Amino acid sequence: MTNDGLARLLEQVRDGGLGIEEAVARLRDWPYQDLGYARVDHHRPLRTGSPEVVLGKGKTPEQVAGIVAALRGRGYPVLVTKTGREAWVAVREIAPEAEYHELAGAIVIPLLGDSAESADGLPGVLVVTAGTADLPVAGEAMLTAGLMGQEAGLIADVGVAGLHRLLERLPEIRAARVVVVAAGMDAALPSVIAGLVSAPVIAVPTSAGYGASFEGLAALLAMLNSCAPGVAVVNIDNGFGAGYLAAQINRLAASAAPREGATP
């Protein structure tokens, strides 16, 4: 239940449109719901302003579907990360509207009907990849930012092996409030971008690569050792963490920006 959802419920009780017993029934599994194999945190949107997200990795399709059933219909979309088609098939049994994003390995259960928000997302988040192989992680970051009400742009395949590809997109990158950079191999791209822009850079090491890349460990260490200031690093292939942090930064930056016509 979101802040707005809780407020509406209390208003309905106050105005006589909702009985006490029904209100208690709706709040019975709040702040969390015990499914036996999972304790679903319904209180998270109230605490943080962002909904619970399901990590699909390590869960059976039936467990994923059960958690989605507990989250669905509570006033916000549901995102399942690091998952596959089998889980999607199970989720569709209880949520026919579920969408599977194969490249990102994610399931999205959008809002339907009166609960759906038609407002556009808040611009300012930009996701950049060094190579095409980094797109799955970038997609997870974009889906996460979108779930949190952001409009995330994408610039793909502009790694340092061909620096001219990056430089021609520099005006777009400089216009962003926060830049997420997904890169594997030598992971030099976040440092390069951080030296060219004023916005914070969130670096995501990816497991794309071979040999001495050690499934992303080399990229992680390279990003942690960045000589450029203003670079924050999340874990290997953690597009969710990068998208979440980018949304938080963008939301705060937008709220702090002076309103049009306001006196400085």
Domain boundaries, the chain: 45-115, 122-255
pLDDT digits (tens, 9 = 90+) for 60-70: 999 999 999 99
pLDDT digits (tens, 9 = 90+) for 190-208: 999 999 999 999 999 999 9
SS3 per-residue string spanning the chain: CCHHHHHHHHHHHHHCCCCHHHHHHHHCCCCEEECCCCEEECCHHHHHCCCCCEECCCCCHHHHHHHHHHHCCCCCCEEEECCCHHHHHHHHCCCCCCEEECCCCEEEECCCHHHCCCCCCEEEEEEEECCHHHHHHHHHHHHHHHHCCEEEEEECCCCHHHHHHHHCCHHHHHCCCEEEEEECCCCCHHHHHHCCCCCCEEEEECCCCCHHHHHHHHHHHHHHCCCCCCEEECCCCCHHHHHHHHHHHHHHHHHHCCCCCCCC
Count of CB atoms within 10 A of residue 113's CB?
A: 6
Task: Name the more confident of 241 and 3.
Answer: 241
Average pLDDT rounded to a whole number, residues 91-111:
95
Instruction: Report the C-alpha gap between 219 and 212 in whole angstroms.
Output: 10
Task: Name the more confident of 227 and 32.
Answer: 227
Fold of 122-255: Rossmann fold (3.40.50)
Q: Which residues share a beta bridge with 78?
A: 109
Question: Going by C-beta distance under 8 Å and a sequence separation of 6 or more, which residues neighbour residue 189?
Answer: 128, 130, 158, 159, 160, 166, 181, 183
Instruction: Report the C-alpha gap between 121 and 99 in whole angstroms.
Output: 19
Provide the token pair at 24: 């208690």
Q: Is the pTM of this model over 0.85?
A: no
Classify domain 45-115 by CATH number: 3.30.110
Q: Which residues share a beta bridge with 30?
A: none
Average pLDDT rounded to a whole number, residues 55-62:
96
pLDDT digits (tens, 9 = 90+) for 103-155: 999 999 998 764 455 557 899 999 999 999 999 999 999 999 999 999 999 99
Task: Name the more confident of 169 and 27.
Answer: 169
Note whether 192 and 160 are within 8 A (CB): yes
